[in-house]
Amino acid sequence: MKTYNKTVLIIVGIFIIYTVSLTTYIYYSFSNFEFIDFYKRLETRVNVITTEKDKNNEISYLLNSSLESLPSEKEYVIPIKDGNIADKILPEKVILQTLKNGKYEYNEGNLFYSSLLYNDKKGESFLIAVSAKNPNYSTHITYLRNLLIISVLFSILLMIFIAQLVYNTLIKPVKKIIKDVNKINYENLYLRLEVLHRKDQDPISELGHTFNGMLNRLETAFETQKNFISNASHELNTPLTSIIGEAELVLSKDRDKKEYEKSLCNILREAENLNNKTKALLFLARTGFDGKTQKFDIVRIDEILLNVKDNLQKINEGYKIRIDFSMLPENPSMLRIRGNEQLLHLAIANIVSNACKYSNNQEVRLALGATNHSIIIIIKDYGIGIPDDDMKYIYDPYFRASNTLNFEGYGIGLPLSRNIIRMHNGELIVQSKENVGTTVQISFPLDDV
């Protein structure tokens, strides 16, 4: 049996044992109280008989007039001669125990007896007893017993309901998380757990978000490693081949000064190209880490957008960037996330720069807004767009769309930006249509910061 099943059964078992024990104690305590109380009532009648016996009064009349009549009530005044009782109208056990102990209480089912050994002023001995049926025995006790049984059954049903509720709210979601996690391996790291997106998360939802964050980092790390190996040899081999070929060519025979200068310029250009690609590739690899080496602080997204706009327009005065702040929330704290400002600036700047470059410096529109769950950035341009056949490759390092031949670039900006956004538990969505334009949506979860 699994641990959680054992735990539920143990809790239910303990609750049932406690409930049954408590109800049993209440039942027998109340029953005992009813017995004691009724015996006291019978004893009162016996005492009245002894008192009135000394006064030679009519006993039955006094009992009926001074005390409430009990069902099937009978009084017994039996003379005792030489220690024996001739008239044995009482149960034998009552007679024997009364003679032995001086008094006795006894019941046969619902018929109760209270007896007393009494000596009057004349020195005569009597066994005085009163018998009656307890009206509460068959009504109150039965009602209490039925009530307690119903209470026990209701408590058991309630405990089963609570156990099922605990199972559905705690154990079942954890089992689902375990089942979903077991489906994920290195071949399908794109899979994610289904979790609720709300600000006040319960521990189960928080666990799911934690797993998804871990899967984001693992997927990024695996993709980075795979891309680094597959692309490094290809992308670095081209400039290296050019450098080696140019060097071998210039060394194959004596050449004049201009030819040497031309070859050195070619080698320098290819070396710079190699240097740029190497730096970009290494930086892309760094963003595949889990982010622990990066310093995360509280940053405001609106400030980053303004900085990106200013910096890009300083680099290229032809860039036309317009930011729409009409959807800003009233609460400025909804624009803050925990992240690395430099990396976020780089990621957004790469996307905005591409939008400006591939739209021939037409106006690029940025919009910033926030919901109760996330911060959303939308970057829209009206440039050359991306062909449909190329969309599935846009996150591959060094891939460049087929319609970008007239534009400079290395194809590293978008994969780098996506890695950085993933490091911040964000999401990047690209929608594009060739010769119409591209819309990029970036969303970050709204943390409690």
How far is the C-alpha of 356 from the C-alpha of 444, rounded, in Å? 23
pLDDT score for 309? 92
Handedness of CA 152, 153, 159, 162 (dihedral sign): negative
E runs forming strands in 358-435: 363-370, 374-381, 427-433
Give the CA distances from residue 414 to residues 154, 298, 347, 355, 396, in Å, rounded to whole numbers and listed in that order. 62, 24, 8, 11, 9
Domains of the chain, with CATH numbers?
A: 3-140 (3.30.450), 185-292 (1.10.287), 294-449 (3.30.565.10)
Q: Which residues of 216-248 are buried (b: 16+ CB within 10 A; e: fewer)?
A: bbebbbebbeebbeebbeebeeebeebbeebee
pLDDT score for 185? 76
Q: If you count them, how many residues does the chain have?
A: 449
The answer to whether 356 touches 315, Cβ cutoff 8 Å, is: no
* pLDDT, block means (10 residues), the chain with 449 residues: 68 81 83 79 78 56 56 82 76 85 85 85 81 76 81 83 78 80 76 65 75 77 64 64 82 81 83 72 57 72 92 87 89 87 86 91 92 91 91 81 80 82 89 93 80
Instruction: Read off the pLDDT of residues 256-286 as tens digits, 9 standing for 90 and up.
Output: 888 888 888 888 887 877 776 676 666 655 6
Q: Read off the amino acid at residue 349.
A: A
pLDDT score for 384? 92
How far is the C-alpha of 338 from the C-alpha of 103, rounded, in Å? 87
How far is the C-alpha of 16 from the C-alpha of 24, rounded, in Å? 12
Count other C-beta atoms under 10 Å from residue 78's C-beta: 18
Number of H helices, E strands in the chain: 10, 11
Pairing of strands 320-324, 363-370: parallel
pLDDT score for 226? 65
How far is the C-alpha of 172 from the C-alpha of 185, rounded, in Å? 22
pLDDT score for 366? 95
pLDDT score for 62? 44
Q: Read off the amino acid at residue 181.
A: V
